Chains A and B, each alone.
Chain A
């Protein structure tokens, strides 16, 4: 018989299985979905735990969110992000300075360039403005002054813009640096002037010991600071240090040198072995004071032109304007030169100047002084004529200035054709010989030597040497001797570097005497060699024995 409990249990198991099967059939979809959800959930959990994955998840959202916020609430976003941006940039700069610099360089470089260019432009504009304001009339005045003084216009203009003044003057013992005397243009006397004297000497010593090349001691001449300069005029036992501002002119340098020489003459004996005893230098400050006063007076005098000069300048300007307008509207047809010269009673004096000229100029002068002319026009002396070269043009004008004492010399000398002058000089030269001799005498040798540089100046031209003789003896004898004379000169020229193929020798004998042979004196003049520079190639090569 069947056990009821057992059958119950069996039926119960059966029902459970059936239920399970039923569940499986009914819930299979749901279960799959749950499993999927669980999987998804796990994936999400993993993504949340993993920073990288979370970031990749949030990235698009954050960006979109920020973009949206920036569009809708830009101001608020700025307020929120502002405080964070500063530290972030600082941190970034600290950690990756080079990267930041590299990234910003093109931008910042351009910005700086632009700013600097703008600043320079402003500066230039402001300087130009100031110069325009300061110089419109002063510039003109400076240029006129420069012309009259014979200095460069730039120098004069600079002096106008940067007025020159002496502030202090020190006279300092060179070896010890002890201040011998000091004057100041300012009322207040410097309490530390002695120390300044010492320090200036120390600076000089330093430059001398530390910077001079061995064997060639060099003196310091100028120390510059701010708008000032300390100009040092070095003497044997002492030096002058002058504190100046502005642009010094030639007068200053000349005067300071003169002062140094004057003080040296007076105090050299004392300063050679200076004991520091200041008793014998008591007059020194007043000497410096006097120099300063006189210099300032000279400067002031030259700064402030007298009334007549101002009137004259104004007149000149008006005249120039009238002439300018006339030329503008009525230009001259053919160029005409009208020179009106007032010859004054000084004519005689001028002649004597011309006579004396040769005594003051070197014997080797190539300019023909006879062609010079001096013309006086008011306070101006015009020097006219032809000079052989630029150097002689200047030299002659200088001597004329010295001899005449005129304040203004207008050098109107023109340069003669230098080649022509050389040729003329060579062609005029005669080399003289003794009777029946072809030996070149010492004095004649000197003449030939002096011609060598001239031959070199016309190196593309040939030279003909023409031998002559007196009338004594036979034709053949004279022809031979004249040939030998010319050959002797040729040999000497070759020995002195003149190319052989540039020299031709021609013997004339007694056939073409330079002067008549009536007296011994004339015959001596015919015993010579004459030079002839050949003008062109057609002249060359035609020997006439």
Chain B
């Protein structure tokens, strides 16, 4: 395989309070910074280098994701727009067990798109470990993802289920 081309991308992790965003990142990244940054600045940047992949045109690329874990706000308008700029995509994180954490997503997504029109999205439906397999929310989240036209992943930061996959999925759509 040829020497991969390094491509760095900024990715934002968005969602309400307590949906497990920071835990998802902690599961995923190599370098873990003190979470103090989150409470002081409202953002914490981490990085993750994904394995090299071959693009349809034959080029081999390796993505280095700079993940901006942005503190959840009550309203989508409360987010500082500066944190969104220059992003290639966003992970929309929700709590599977708490449906009210889903409601902010469409507006948040729109606000993000206004700043980054070409942005790619994935939906990370977290805390799967807390729901029984036949829970109604599992069907409802699939419908919700279809409604906002975003691919979704059922994840668990606790068990690590699907955590790598949704980041890879996001990178593949760049």
Which A residues are closer than 8 A to B by beta carbons? 173-179, 191-192, 194-195, 198-199, 201-206, 208-210, 274-279
A205–B47 Cα gap in the complex (Å)? 19
Q: Are B47 and A178 in contact, CB atoms less than 8 angstroms apart?
A: no
Known pairs A191-B31, A192-B31, A198-B45; A205 contacts B85 (CB<8 A):
yes
Q: Apart from A195-B45, A279-B6, list 9 A-B contacts with CB within 8 A.
A: A176-B8, A176-B85, A178-B66, A199-B41, A199-B45, A205-B80, A206-B42, A206-B80, A276-B9
Q: Are B10 and A177 in contact, CB atoms less than 8 angstroms apart?
A: yes
Can you list 18 A-B contacts with CB-CB less than 8 angstroms, sorted by A residue number? A175-B85, A176-B10, A177-B68, A192-B33, A195-B33, A195-B46, A198-B47, A202-B45, A204-B82, A206-B41, A206-B43, A206-B80, A209-B83, A210-B80, A275-B7, A276-B7, A276-B8, A276-B10
A191–B33 Cα gap in the complex (Å)? 12
**What chain B residues lie within 8 Å of A205 (beta carbons)?**
80, 82-83, 85
- B99 → chain A closest CB, angstroms: 30
**What chain B residues lie within 8 Å of A178 (beta carbons)?**
8-10, 66, 86
B64 in the interface (beta carbon within 8 A): yes
A178–B7 Cα gap in the complex (Å)? 10
A417–B33 Cα gap in the complex (Å)? 67
**What chain A residues lie within 8 Å of B45 (beta carbons)?**
177, 195, 198-199, 201-202
Within 8 A of A (CB), among B1-59: 5-10, 31, 33, 37, 41-47
A194–B7 Cα gap in the complex (Å)? 13
**What chain A residues lie within 8 Å of B47 (beta carbons)?**
192, 194-195, 198
**What chain B residues lie within 8 Å of A277 (beta carbons)?**
5, 7
Q: Are B88 and A203 in contact, CB atoms less than 8 angstroms apart?
A: no
**What chain A residues lie within 8 Å of B37 (beta carbons)?**
199
A194–B30 Cα gap in the complex (Å)? 12
Q: Are B8 and A194 in contact, CB atoms less than 8 angstroms apart?
A: yes
Q: Are A276 and B88 in contact, CB atoms less than 8 angstroms apart?
A: yes
Which B residues are closer than 8 A to A by beta carbons? 5-10, 31, 33, 37, 41-47, 64, 66, 68, 80-83, 85-88
Known pairs A191-B31, A195-B45, A195-B47; A177 contacts B66 (CB<8 A):
yes
A34–B68 Cα gap in the complex (Å)? 101
Name the residue on B nearest A202 (C-beta).
B43
Q: Are B64 and A194 in contact, CB atoms less than 8 angstroms apart?
A: yes
**What chain A residues lie within 8 Å of B5 (beta carbons)?**
277-279
**What chain B residues lie within 8 Å of A202 (beta carbons)?**
41, 43, 45, 68, 83
Name the residue on A nearest B64 (C-beta).
A194
Tally of contacts, chain A with chain B, CB under 8 A? 86
**What chain B residues lie within 8 Å of A208 (beta carbons)?**
82
A500–B87 Cα gap in the complex (Å)? 70
A175–B88 Cα gap in the complex (Å)? 11
A173–B7 Cα gap in the complex (Å)? 13
A275–B87 Cα gap in the complex (Å)? 10
**What chain B residues lie within 8 Å of A176 (beta carbons)?**
8-10, 66, 85-88
Q: Are B66 and A194 in contact, CB atoms less than 8 angstroms apart?
A: yes
A289–B170 Cα gap in the complex (Å)? 35
**What chain B residues lie within 8 Å of A199 (beta carbons)?**
33, 37, 41, 44-45
- B10 → chain A closest CB, angstroms: 4
From A205, A206, A209, A274, residue with most partner B Cβ within 10 Å: A205
From A173, A201, A208, A278, residue with most partner B Cβ within 10 Å: A201
Known pairs A176-B87, A206-B42; A195 contacts B82 (CB<8 A):
no
**What chain B residues lie within 8 Å of A201 (beta carbons)?**
45
Known pairs A191-B31, A194-B64, A209-B80; A179 contacts B41 (CB<8 A):
no
From A191, A195, A278, A279, residue with most partner B Cβ within 10 Å: A195
A177–B46 Cα gap in the complex (Å)? 12
Name the residue on B nearest A204 (C-beta).
B82
Name the residue on B nearest A275 (C-beta).
B7
- B32 → chain A closest CB, angstroms: 10
Name the residue on B nearest A210 (C-beta).
B80
From B10, B42, B64, residue with most partner A Cβ within 10 Å: B10
**What chain A residues lie within 8 Å of B86 (beta carbons)?**
173-178, 274
- B12 → chain A closest CB, angstroms: 10
A204–B45 Cα gap in the complex (Å)? 13
Known pairs A175-B85, A176-B86, A176-B87; A198 contacts B7 (CB<8 A):
no
- A31 → chain B closest CB, angstroms: 92
Q: Are B7 and A206 in contact, CB atoms less than 8 angstroms apart?
A: no
A178–B67 Cα gap in the complex (Å)? 11
- B52 → chain A closest CB, angstroms: 14
- B149 → chain A closest CB, angstroms: 24
